[in-house]
Structure 1
Amino acid sequence: MQRVFSGIQPTGIPHLGNYLGAIRNWATLQADHDCLFCLVDMHSLTMPWSPQTLREQTLGSAACLLAAGIDPTRLYNQSAVSAHARLGWIFNCVSRLGWLNRMTQFKDKAGKNRENHSAGLYVYPNLMAADILAFHATRVPVGDDQLQHLELANDIAQKFNHDMGVEFFPKIEPLVPPAAARVMSLRDGTKKMSKSDPSAQSRIVLTDTADEIAGKIRRAKTDSEPLPSEMAGLAERPEARNLVTIYAAVSERTPADILSEFGGQGFGPFKNALAELLVQKLAPIATETSRLLQDETHLLSVLRTGAERARSVADPIVNEAESLVGFLR
């Protein structure tokens, strides 16, 4: 059975894009993979944060993931497992500056003020590599925007193996969901749906009520033309394409199927049908999340149990990596 690792930043309640692009897939992978799912709270420190908010959002994210079907024994928070930081430092010393300079996500996040950002943001990809390789995970479900980081993780593993003269770290295979890997903003179909967007109307989060979901879909940006009957008609219509993509992903159908049903119609009936579908799929998650958040003691217990399991896997691997580089044990 292949081992899968994946993580999500607890920087806000997971949204529809997180659910369709990752979380729903995680729940499916549990059936035939040895899975570890991580709330990467250490990565959250790479951007400005509030300690109280980070704590609340970590618990909130845990509740959402459990409500969405993640096995509680497979879920933990990154900072509770020291293997991440220990191997991350080794990888800081294996990775090359030239490799990190090519990482486009750092350039995107830092923008013109790169000198004012933390060193943590710069070496973020090294810690991501450690997250995966601390477990000798061989499969990682990622969006296409993370593929570059996964390539770097393989480069680091290969260099470590070469430098130490061993075949210790395995090659990592990306698992890219075939559909809805990139759900776009409900206010701007050219931008990815994001937790950090200042407009709450731009995203549907997993704690939204049925009324909130319906309202956001009703107000989602569209154009004045009816829906086309063929995919080619969506080429220059990003907002329409986004809503059709969401409908197809949630219903587990193809965009062509959706257009065959709604093509030629205005957005009114289509949005009503989409809102009804989203409420049907997401409202139970919101209800269960709310219930779980009423018992913080239980959530903390779940994360501690998950961390114990994660440590039992990662500690022997990282202990051996430390011995290979020459650390006394």
Structure 2
Amino acid sequence: MSVLQEPVLKQRVFSGVQPTGNLHLGNYLGAISRFVAFQNTYDCIYCVVDLHAITVPQEPQALTRQIREVTAAFIACGVDPVKHIIFNQSQVAGHAELAWVFNCVARIGWMNRMTQFKEKAGKDRENVSLGLYAYPSLMAADILLYRAHAVPVGEDQKQHVELTRDIAQKFNNDFAESIARNGFGETFFPLPEPLIQGVSTRVMSLRDGTKKMSKSDPSDYSRINLTDDADTIAQKIRKAKTDPEPLPETVEELAGRPEAENLVGIFATLAGRTREDVLREFAGGQFSTFKGALVDIAVEKLGPIGAEMQRLVADPAYIDSVLNDGSRRVRVIADETFNAVKDILGFVRDRG
């Protein structure tokens, strides 16, 4: 009989960021800034998901650099790698191993409903990798390998957490008898909840308020990169697309004005205020005045992050030591979970 320990006193949060280069304001407001806030109330595990990155072609040297850059961003933004865990996915074999188990639990129909695959594959679905199609199964393994209770995600990732819950529930149902026989109670995997908080969980392009801010946009003026200096941040905000109307008095009046809504949301999140509060201050004013205030708060918040990221990236030995330490610590949890899964499935494993 296996006995799985419950070492955490606080609930556990897991989340990951792909090492795809050019981390920007959307990554910060939609994910990394929240990672920092969760440290006070959760036991946090944060992952650089490099296995996910290779679902599309990557240049190996660039991937190495980008893994270190994401790690630097975590630390520069305030994630404590000593009190919590930062690691890269490929150092922990349990992610790929549990993903295969979930490939055998998840149903094809579930995968066919995943909207992100349809968006990423486009019209040329026959030529994309199998990894891109099975991506949600690996994401479920990422979360459930640590039996996480909550996952901070943007709205566009909520469907993946819902699928993770479906996979966890089906595993629990399919193997209920074995779960009980091995001493794990009525269920083994928890059903994680998506943590979607704040006013800017989805940050839009500075050039088109109807499109998500993205590193793949050909215009660098569509995004604020975390490594941009103060002058570049200011220039991009001043050139951000707006409409000719003054700022409204209420949030409801932002409807149909995507660029205005985006900039107000960015300001509110950076300043730790509500949209309503921001509009009370700037209602009736022109965007030129509002953008000046937005430049000030953006430079104040993002400038130190960019400088610290550059300092950390210049010391790859330190970055690698953080990843190696995190991987060693998190592997203990991962191995415990996957060994329990082997027992539940009926595999014969080495108990030496």
- TM band (smaller chain): over 0.9
Higher helix proportion, which one?
1
Q: Distance in 1 between matches of 2:95 and 2:235?
A: 41
* Correspondence for 2:80: 71
Q: Distance in 2 between matches of 1:97 and 1:228?
A: 47
Residues 139, 175 of structure 1: 8 Å contact kept: yes
Q: Distance in 1 between matches of 2:230 and 2:198?
A: 28
TM-score w.r.t. structure 1 length?
0.98
Residues 13, 61 of structure 1: 8 Å contact kept: no
Q: Does 1:58 align with 2:76?
A: no
* Correspondence for 2:29: 20
Q: Percent identity?
A: 57
- String of CA shifts for 1:4-53, please: whole Å, max 9, x gaps: 10001010132111111111111111112111000000000111211111
Shift of 1:231: 2.2
Q: Does 1:127 align with 2:147?
A: no
RMSD (CA atoms): 1.0
Q: Counterparts of 1:257-276 in structure 2 under 5 Å?
A: 257-276=277-296
- Give the secondary structure class of the aligned counterpart of 2:194: strand
Q: Does 1:8 align with 2:8?
A: no
Q: Distance in 2 between matches of 1:230 and 1:187?
A: 23
Unpaired runs of 5+ in structure 2?
A: 1-9, 180-186
Residues 203, 262 of structure 2: 8 Å contact kept: yes
Shift of 1:203: 0.7
Q: Counterparts of 1:33-112 in structure 2 under 5 Å?
A: 33-73=42-82, 74-112=85-123
- String of CA shifts for 1:96-150, please: whole Å, max 9, x gaps: 1011011111011111111110000101000000000000111111111111111
Letter in 2 for 1:105: Q
- String of CA shifts for 1:274-304, please: whole Å, max 9, x gaps: 0111000010101111111111111001100
Letter in 2 for 1:54: L
The total of aligned residue pairs comes to: 329
Shift of 1:230: 2.2
Q: Does 1:246 align with 2:266?
A: yes
Q: Counterparts of 1:225-304 in structure 2 under 5 Å?
A: 225-304=245-324
* Correspondence for 2:184: none
Shift of 1:178: 2.9
Letter in 1 for 2:336: P
- Give the secondary structure class of the aligned counterpart of 2:14: strand
Q: Distance in 1 between matches of 2:342 and 2:162?
A: 23
Q: Say which of 295, 303, 306 aligns to 2:326.
A: 306
Kindly report structure 1 stretches of 4+ aligned residues shifted beyond 3 Å. Answer: none
Deviates more, 1:131-140 or 1:319-328: 319-328
Q: Does 1:114 align with 2:125?
A: yes
* Correspondence for 1:145: 156
Q: Distance in 2 between matches of 1:53 and 1:200?
A: 19
Q: Say which of 29, 40, 43 aligns to 1:31.
A: 40
TM-score w.r.t. structure 2 length?
0.91
Q: Distance in 2 between matches of 1:259 and 1:171?
A: 38
Shift of 1:234: 1.6
Shift of 1:70: 0.9
- String of CA shifts for 1:202-231, please: whole Å, max 9, x gaps: 111111100111010011011222212222
- Give the secondary structure class of the aligned counterpart of 1:6: strand
Q: Does 1:320 align with 2:340?
A: yes
- Give the secondary structure class of the aligned counterpart of 1:207: coil
Deviates more, 1:256-265 or 1:283-292: 256-265
Shift of 1:72: 1.6
Q: Distance in 1 between matches of 2:226 and 2:268?
A: 18
Residues 46, 120 of structure 1: 8 Å contact kept: yes
Q: Distance in 2 between matches of 1:18 and 1:147?
A: 16
Residues 198, 269 of structure 2: 8 Å contact kept: no
Q: Distance in 2 between matches of 1:114 and 1:326?
A: 36
- Give the secondary structure class of the aligned counterpart of 2:16: strand
